[in-house]
Copies of this chain bind each other. A is one copy, B any other.
Amino acid sequence: MRRIVELGNAQLVECGAGGLSVREIARGLGMVSSAVYRYVRSRDELLTLLIVDAYGDLADAVDGALAEASDAPRERFTALAESMAQWAIAHPERWTLLYGTPVSGYDAPAESTNADGTRVMARMLAIAAAADADAAADAGASAGRGQGVHVTPDVRALLDAHLEEFGVESDAMAAMRAVTAWSSLVGIISAHVFRQLGADAAAIGEQILGSQTELLADLVIGR
């Protein structure tokens, strides 16, 4: 069973998500294809297995980086962003699995996925909340930074629900900044991993990522 996800990951790095073949895994295991179906219901389930494995691995990497960071929100954000980017660069196919196209025609199995998939998001919420608290303490008058952004009641309710779910105390505005920063971060890293900015940009990708991360930090933390 664990050998299956091992072989699956190995096959992922050399063929990509689309090239994942249960027959090939069976060959690696030295058995016939049908035998694999004892352990894994379908190719999609195998994919799901690899996805939760990757989510967990990524979240572990981020948590590791955050454990070594100070309490300063900006430093924590940078640690989160950089560890996420480094993980993506180290495992491009697994990143692809998580934040690329949902492969072929299989519906995201939210229930098995969300548990590990939201760990990083929760961290981001906490960081934005801390930054917000700091800003309010520094200058009581400047509270409400970014208030020009309109948030509908529905969205506010959803954000509050998630804040409670993750045990973070903050207001919806900070949460909005957090999820925007998170989506943006995913977009920026994907642009790098998928080489969407062109070949010459890929050569100095890390430097570009660095500047972009700073800009996003301004968005969540303020300046």
Contact = CB atoms under 8 A, between A and B. Distances in A.
Contacts of A114: 198
Tell me if A's interface is mostly helix, strand, loop or mixed: helix
A141 interface: no
Contact of A103 (B18, B184, B219): B18
24 contacts: A16-B101, A16-B105, A18-B103, A18-B104, A99-B196, A100-B100, A100-B102, A110-B199, A114-B198, A148-B223, A149-B211, A149-B214, A149-B215, A152-B204, A155-B208, A155-B211, A176-B212, A176-B215, A179-B197, A179-B208, A180-B212, A183-B212, A186-B187, A186-B196
A207 B211 CA distance: 29
Contact of A108 (B152, B158, B195): B195
Nearest to A108: B195
Contact of A150 (B96, B150, B211): B211
B101 A194 contact: yes
A188 interface: yes
Contacts of A186: 187, 190-191, 196
Given A150-B214, A155-B211, A176-B211, 16 more contacts: A16-B101, A16-B104, A108-B194, A108-B195, A118-B198, A148-B214, A148-B218, A149-B215, A149-B218, A155-B204, A158-B204, A179-B197, A183-B212, A186-B187, A187-B191, A218-B219
A201 interface: yes
